[in-house]
Homo-oligomer: A and B are copies of this chain.
Amino acid sequence: MKRTKLLIPGPVELDSEVLLAMARPMMGHRTPDFEEVLEECWRLLREVYQTRNEVAIITGSGTSAMEAAVASVIKEGDEVVSITGGKFGERLAEIASAFGAEVKRVDVEWGSTFAVEQVESAIAESNAVAITLTHNETSTGVLHDARAVGKLAREYDILFIADCITSVGGDDVRTDEWGIDLCITGSQKCLAAPPGLGFVAVSERAWEVITNNTRRRAYYLDLARYRKALARGTTPFTPSVTLIYGLRAALKKIEEEGLKARIERHRRLAKATREAARAMNLELFAEQHCASNTVTAIKIPPHLSDDDVRGVLKREYGILVAGGQAQLKGKIFRIGHMGNVTFADLVQVLSALELVLKKAGHQLEPGKGVAAAEKVFSG
C-alpha cells in the first residue's frame, strides 16, 4: 500500500519512537511497572495542560472524554449554555441534550467567533450550571477565546467545560489560569500520540459537583470512578497499555521540544499557511482575528470541486488533507498543521496545492504561495 502523507487535523503522523514504543511487549496493567508509566504520563500531561489538576486518562476517542465530562457533571433537567459555531461545538451541545440537559445555545456563525456580551447575557438569563465551548473548532478553523468564557464562568459561578481537543499541546491552553473546570483533549491531535485516548483535567470544584451528582448516567465514562482510581495511581478499567506506551513516548517528545517552542511552531505554521493561501488567490474560511493555529480552513474556489483539490492532491501527490464537514462539505478543505508537522512538511502540501490548483484552472502565480510561506519562516 502506498504511503500517504497526512496533513489532516488528526490522526496525525507519529514519530518513529512513538510507533516503536507500541511494539513493546504487553505489561500487566495492575503492576508497579505499569503504574510508573502512568505516573510519567500524568506528570507530562499536567505540563501541556498547564494545570495542577488531576487528569483522567480514558481509553476512547476524544468524544468519549467529551461525554465523560458532560455526563459526570450534568443530571436530567440541568440547564447548560453551549457556544456552538461548528461541528464540535454542536457536539458538546448534543451530548448535553442526550444526557437530559436543557441546552441554551449561543449560536455563532461558522467561521466566526462569539461576542462576550452575547455569552454573558445567555448565562445571565438562564439558570445554567455549566457552559460548554470548543476552544479550537476543528471544523471551521476558528480559535475561540476560552479565557473570556472562563472569566464569565467564575463570575457567575458555573462550571466551564472546554473541548480543547485540537489545542492542548499545539496552542496555549492555560487550564488553571483561565479557570477551565473540565478541560478535554484527545491523543491523536496536537499531542502527536496514537488515536484512542481521551483526557479530562478536572478542577476541584468540578470534582465536588461530580461527587454530589448522584443522578449521573454513566459508568465507564463516570469521572468519579477515575478519581477513585487516580488516588490509587491507576485507571478504573483496563487501559490500552499499548496506547499508553505510545502516549508516554509522544509526551516525552513534547517535553524535549518545550511547550513554548512547540506553540510557537504551530503559530508560524498557521501563519505561513494563511499567507500562502492568500498568495494563491484562495479565500480563508475563518475570520483572520480568530484563525486557528492548528488547522486552517480554506474555501474551495468557485467552479472547482472537492475532488479537483483533495482528490487530485491524494491521487497524484499522495497527500491527504481534510474536507469540509456537515454543511461545509464540498465547500472548504482543511490543512492540519498540528503535532509533528514541520515547515518542510507544510511546503510539500503548499507546492502540490499550487500544481493542483493550476491544473484545475485556478488563477495563480506558481511559487508565490510557497514564497509567502518561506517569508513567514525566514522573518
- Cα distance A95–B242 in the bound complex, in angstroms: 26
With known contacts A4-B27, A95-B219, A218-B98, A10–B240 Cβ distance under 8 A: no
A8 within 8 A of B: yes
Q: Is the CB of B238 within 8 A of A320?
A: no
Q: Among the listed stretches A62-70, A167-175, A268-276, A298-306, which one makes contact with chain B, having 4 or more residues with CB under 8 Å of it? A: A62-70
Residues of A in contact, count (CB < 8 Å): 58
Q: Among the listed stretches A17-25, A77-85, A107-115, A366-374, which one makes contact with chain B, having 4 or more residues with CB under 8 Å of it? A: A17-25
A12 within 8 A of B: yes
User: Closest approach, in angstroms, between the C-beta of A250 and any C-beta of chain B?
Assistant: 12
Q: Is the CB of A64 within 8 A of B64?
A: yes
- Cα distance A10–B26 in the bound complex, in angstroms: 10
Q: Is the CB of A60 within 8 A of B14?
A: no
Q: Which of A49-68 contact B (CB under 8 A)?
A: 58-64, 66-67
Q: Which of B3, B29, B196 contacts A11 (CB 8 A)?
A: B29
Q: Is the CB of B61 within 8 A of A10?
A: no
Q: Is the CB of A13 within 8 A of B31?
A: no
Q: Is the CB of A240 within 8 A of B320?
A: no
A1 within 8 A of B: yes
A293 within 8 A of B: no
Residue of chain B at shortest CB distance from A16: B23
Residues in A lying within 8 Å of B, measured CB to CB: 1, 3-4, 6, 8, 10-14, 19-20, 22-29, 31, 33, 58-64, 66-67, 71, 94-95, 98-100, 186, 188, 194-196, 216-222, 237-243, 246, 320
Q: Could you list 28 examples of A-B contacts with CB < 8 Å?
A: A4-B31, A11-B26, A14-B25, A19-B22, A19-B25, A22-B242, A23-B23, A26-B194, A29-B195, A59-B195, A59-B196, A60-B60, A61-B237, A62-B238, A63-B220, A67-B218, A67-B221, A71-B217, A95-B219, A98-B222, A194-B240, A195-B240, A195-B241, A195-B242, A196-B196, A220-B221, A240-B243, A242-B242
